[in-house]
Structure 1
Amino acid sequence: MTDPALTTVEIEPIGPVRSSVIWMHGLGADAHDFEPIVPELHLPVELGIRFVFPNAPIRPVTINNGMRMRAWYDVLSMDLPRQEDPDGVYASERDIYALLEREKQRGVPAERIVLAGFSQGGAMALHTGLRYPDRLAGILALSCYIPLASKLNSERRPANQLTPIFMAHGDYDAVIPMRYGQQSAEALKALGYAVEWS
């Protein structure tokens, strides 16, 4: 079995595992950030969902004066999309691919895996899910945007063209302006993706 580079916190279902949710946290948070939400979802036991919460790598973050923290990629400036960190985004994409492959090796087919995330984690869910070669069950992207959006059209894979995508953004998000999320949702719809925006 492939041993992914990212450490994880996992919540196993009571019964057999039938599906998985890989949920990425936001900038400066960690794998425990969304762990408490699982019981609040009141999901039916028979769904057999394993929740996998990975820790982003620790790296210097430019907008935080180079402070080292958990981040899926460096944030050079809040002036998106002009100043992005493609090397960091692609490195995290590879790490998330490894988690997806591990879930498949543990018996969960890709079409029963949801990629989810908040803020930077949501950006990585979109980035990775739209480029993944196998059909996923869904993509959940909260308070985020599409990183490296100018490359999406040439890098996206047809396997996830019909994958349901749910995007939502907090009205009072002071970190990532809602317009970035709305623009991303509209761009995906223009490419024919099934996006629900809330």
Structure 2
Amino acid sequence: MKLERETLELGADIRHAVIWLHGLGADGHDFVPIVPELGLSKEAGVRFIFPHAPSRPVTLNNGYVMPAWFDIISLDRTKNSNLDDILITVGWINTLIDEQIELGIEPENIILAGFSQGGVIALHTALRYPKRLGGLMVLSTYFPFAEQTLDEMPKGYEQIPVFAAHGTHDPVIPAVWWEEYVPKLQKQGFEVESKSYAMEHSVHPQEIADMGLWFKALFDA
């Protein structure tokens, strides 16, 4: 599937790409307003891509049709989704990555970011893509099928820098889920910049500032 998307470019000489996935029920416009708040140079040479998830019935919401990267079956994080369903969407994001590579962006200069449900897809895509990517930003999310994914992950992918943030008062995806998956990544060898903020299932001003610093470090590398 070719995903519709919003695109925002900083500068004319584009050397980096950030593919940023929204959460359940939102769309690609959701995080566009945050880009100017990151404090990046207007000539940073970055293309931000915000794809729109297709609309589909969501089981947990009584079959209500809404933008969703995959179906949510229950509130039990150990069995609230289907891996095959997730991997279909991973294939769509792989196509977006392929497009950026064809446009001249090196894989190590492509960063995947995702909020909530989008974070799940960002994790699975970055750790399964045939070439090692340059960064992974996951916000207010969790990591279903983590053990299987990490076992199947190609050697060397633990060098991908990770920014993992969560709200301490999140009623949608409790902070304990974040506290569980971050150590799994660290045990695998990932260097994770792990941050928590006094917020619910949202984005905090300090979090935006921290994201900006993390992006700058990658873009200047």
TM-score by length of 1: 0.94
Alignment partner of 1:90 is 2:87: yes
Alignment partner of 1:8 is 2:5: yes
Counterpart in the other structure of 1:175? 172
Q: How many residues align?
A: 195
**What's the CA shift for 1:86?**
1.6
Q: Deviations over 1:26-65 (max 9, x none)?
A: 0000000000001111202342110000011211111111
SS of residue in 1 equivalent to 2:32: coil
Query: Which of 124, 127, 132 matches 1:130?
Result: 127
C-alpha separation in 2, matches of 1:16 and 1:159: 29
SS of residue in 1 equivalent to 2:100: helix
SS of residue in 1 equivalent to 2:99: helix
Query: Which of 62, 66, 69 matches 2:63?
Result: 66
Matches within 5 A, 1:77-156: 77-156=74-153
5+ residue gaps in structure 2? 196-221
**What's the CA shift for 1:174?**
1.3
C-alpha separation in 2, matches of 1:108 and 1:45: 18
Counterpart in the other structure of 2:161? 164
Counterpart in the other structure of 2:50? 53
Contact kept? 1:132, 1:157, Cα under 8 Å: no
**What's the CA shift for 1:87?**
2.4
SS of residue in 2 equivalent to 1:36: helix
Alignment partner of 1:36 is 2:36: no
C-alpha separation in 1, matches of 2:18 and 2:61: 30
**What's the CA shift for 1:159?**
4.1
C-alpha separation in 2, matches of 1:47 and 1:112: 13
Alignment partner of 1:192 is 2:189: yes
SS of residue in 2 equivalent to 1:21: strand
Contact kept? 2:127, 2:150, Cα under 8 Å: no
Alignment partner of 1:25 is 2:22: yes
C-alpha separation in 1, matches of 2:2 and 2:95: 8
Contact kept? 2:8, 2:49, Cα under 8 Å: yes
Contact kept? 1:25, 1:117, Cα under 8 Å: yes
C-alpha separation in 1, matches of 2:16 and 2:150: 29
SS of residue in 2 equivalent to 1:45: coil
C-alpha separation in 2, matches of 1:148 and 1:55: 24
Contact kept? 1:124, 1:147, Cα under 8 Å: no
Contact kept? 1:97, 1:128, Cα under 8 Å: yes
| Aligned alpha-carbon RMSD (Å) | 1.3
C-alpha separation in 2, matches of 1:112 and 1:22: 11
TM-score by length of 2: 0.84
Contact kept? 1:130, 1:156, Cα under 8 Å: yes
C-alpha separation in 2, matches of 1:93 and 1:8: 16
**What's the CA shift for 1:133?**
2.0
SS of residue in 1 equivalent to 2:114: strand
